[in-house]
Structure 1
Amino acid sequence: MTPRSIAIPKNWTTFNFASLFSAFLYPALGLALLITMTILGLTLEALNLQWWYLPVGLGVVALSIFICNAGIGPLHRIMQHKAGELRAPAQVLTMINLMIAMQGTVRDWVNYHSQHHRFSDKPGDPHNPFESKRWAWVGWILWRDAKDMARPMALWLKQHPIIVWMDRFYNSISLVLHLFIPAVIYLIVWAAGGSLMLTAICHACFIIGRAIQFHATVYGINVLGHLPTPKWADHLIGLLTGGEAFHDHHHEEPQSALHRPRKGVWNRIVDYNGTILLVYEKLGWVRNLKIAPQFA
């Protein structure tokens, strides 16, 4: 089998502009907004830039990373690997978080990830780092094979009408989440006489947080997750990906709702995607969780 990094032609017919926007252009807009607001705040006293905007902005970055992972965790572990069953509230929340994370449709995500497990680190793997680290990072999402995009939704997902409906209207709902709702927030803050500068800084930090999480996932998991890395790197990337970075464990036990042992405060912090699922279980939002013996 020809490696996909070679088999897929690199031209304008295979180039995916939506991926370019989510991976690079949208983060650049967020960074530009933050830099612009900071410069204006430092040069124009009337804008009243405050020192405490910094910790607030960092908090928003962390919140954005958490929200994005709260979508990817249930998608990966439950929708993809069937480590449990999501009830209706969790399905809606997960889909909204996925759209905030700009992960693309569930249909395409699951199809690509199924190929990844089938051909892991071999020709046929959509993002094999041993072919090219750059390809495994962003090449595979920038250049797409039309046959990949034409694959139907996995049969087990078609049993969930909420997921099917929200996935069908992925672009429309994403437009509401990323454009309409922020515009309404700006309008409300302006009408209430609040700080548009602080609002813009928080908006920029949310976009930047999503970008950090996005690239921590596509690089930290697709590339570093398949290469020898020191333990501290695994845990750092684990914090940025909700525990998805513990990839060797995942390939050994793919059908597990946890990627770290259930017990231990640090395990539940660094594998917070699994912790989210445990909380959902308590709320009755997920049932029949499957957990690998070494993590139980």
Structure 2
Amino acid sequence: MTILTERPSPQPKPEFEPENKTRAELITFGVVVGAPIVALIAAIPLVWGWGLGWTDIAIAAVFYVVSGLGVTVGFHRYFTHGSFKTNRALKIVLGIAGSLSLEMSVLDWVATHRKHHKFSDKEGDPHSPWRFGTGFKALSKGLLYAHMGWLFEAERTNRAKYAPDLVKDPDIMKLHKWFPALAITSLLLPGVLGGLLTWSWQGILTALFWGTIIRIGLLHHVTWSINSICHVFGEEAFEVRDKSRNVWWLAIPSFGESWHNLHHSDPTCARHGALKGQIDLSAGVIRWFEKAGWAYDVRWPTPERLAAKRLG
């Protein structure tokens, strides 16, 4: 007598296969995170020994502003959230400028940030400081993880799932492919400019130190502070489903990104610092683009939209 048993139905294959970062990428993250810390330790004797010239300050400032706004205006408000529309030329310029930050390619940056918004401060968030719990020890560990520990996770955020629009954009895919070349340019160009402007080896070395190592390190830690500090400390002015807060003292170096509470309350809004006294340099740049005719359909906040989610 044969006993018929029901064969288990085959499990469907996941729509999006997980993809891991390569060993080379993880090592690169380690160098990018660690080198600025070592450089800061060496900064005082370097300044005492060689001095800090106006050329170094100018090069570092220009690269910080260009790459920083490339992230805040380009990667974040334009590519990730669609806070405004623009022409093809400015789209490519913003993609290049953001890539000079060495934070990620535009494709990976956008995919990761969209995943963050989908699961903000819940399971699945790539960099929530609350992932280990609410106690002092757990939160301290979470702050470090949210600040930079998450970069060393092996699994990569799925690009096709979280950024399908960018995957279909030929310009974005070219920028993604060119990211290593743009990163090398960002690393070496300050030194080249320092040498040309001073015509000296010292000018090359000091420009590399301040315009590359310190500039990249400062920009990274300011950006990572939005993930860590702005999800634990600060003030809440708008209703949100997570722990996003406003941190006023980060507003200038982050170009307005630290007005994080309104951003999570209204992610597509082009201005994050919408209340009186909140300086938002990124919004000012978008306004300038709009007046020049380069940006349109800008999602500016309205009194009605602000009042709808305002606390108190």
Normalising by structure 1, we get a TM-score of 0.76
Q: Which amino acid aligns with 2:110?
A: V
Task: Provide Cα deviations, 1:27-60, integer angstroms capped at 9, x if missing partner.
Answer: 257547855753543xxxxxxx5xxx45654454
Q: Distance in 1 between matches of 2:302 and 2:80?
A: 20
- What is the match of residue 146 of structure 2? 136
Q: Distance in 2 between matches of 1:243 and 1:125?
A: 22
Contact in 1 for aligned 2:143/2:229 (Cα 8 Å): no
Is residue 265 of structure 2 the alignment partner of residue 287 of structure 1? no
Larger radius of gyration: 2
CA gap 1:244/1:187 in 2 versus in 1, 3 angstroms:
closer
* RMSD over equivalenced CA pairs, Å: 3.2
Q: Distance in 2 between matches of 1:58 and 1:107?
A: 31
1:206-285 map, 5 Å: 206-207=211-212, 208-218=214-224, 220-229=225-234, 234-261=247-274, 267=278, 270-285=279-294
Give unpaired runs (5+ residues) of structure 1. Answer: 1-11, 42-48
Q: Distance in 1 between matches of 2:178 and 2:54?
A: 36
- What is the match of residue 44 of structure 1? none
Provide the aligned length of Structure 1 versus Structure 2: 265
Q: Distance in 1 between matches of 2:126 and 2:143?
A: 12
Matching residue within 19, 26, 34 for 2:29: 19
Matching residue within 176, 182, 188 for 2:185: 176
CA gap 1:30/1:63 in 2 versus in 1, 3 angstroms:
farther
Contact in 1 for aligned 2:257/2:280 (Cα 8 Å): yes
Deviation for aligned residue 1:86: 2.8
Q: Distance in 2 between matches of 1:243 and 1:121?
A: 21
Percent identity (aligned)? 21
Deviation for aligned residue 1:162: 2.4
Q: Distance in 1 between matches of 2:57 and 2:190?
A: 19
More helix per residue:
1
CA gap 1:153/1:175 in 2 versus in 1, 3 angstroms:
farther
Contact in 1 for aligned 2:101/2:186 (Cα 8 Å): no
CA gap 1:33/1:281 in 2 versus in 1, 3 angstroms:
farther
Describe the SS at the equivalent of 2:82: coil
Moved more, 119-128 or 58-67: 58-67
Q: Which amino acid aligns with 2:284?
A: T
Q: Which amino acid aligns with 1:144?
A: A
Relative contact order, higher structure (CA 8 A, sep 6+): 1
Give unpaired runs (5+ residues) of structure 2. Answer: 1-21, 132-141, 237-245, 307-312
Q: Which amino acid aligns with 2:295?
A: V
- What is the match of residue 66 of structure 2? 67
Q: Distance in 2 between matches of 1:248 and 1:177?
A: 31
Deviation for aligned residue 1:111: 1.4
Q: Which amino acid aligns with 1:68?
A: S
Normalising by structure 2, we get a TM-score of 0.73
- What is the match of residue 9 of structure 2? none
CA gap 1:251/1:238 in 2 versus in 1, 3 angstroms:
same
Instruction: Give the ranges of 4+ consecutive aligned residues of structure 1 lying more than 6 Å apart after TM superposition.
Output: 12-15
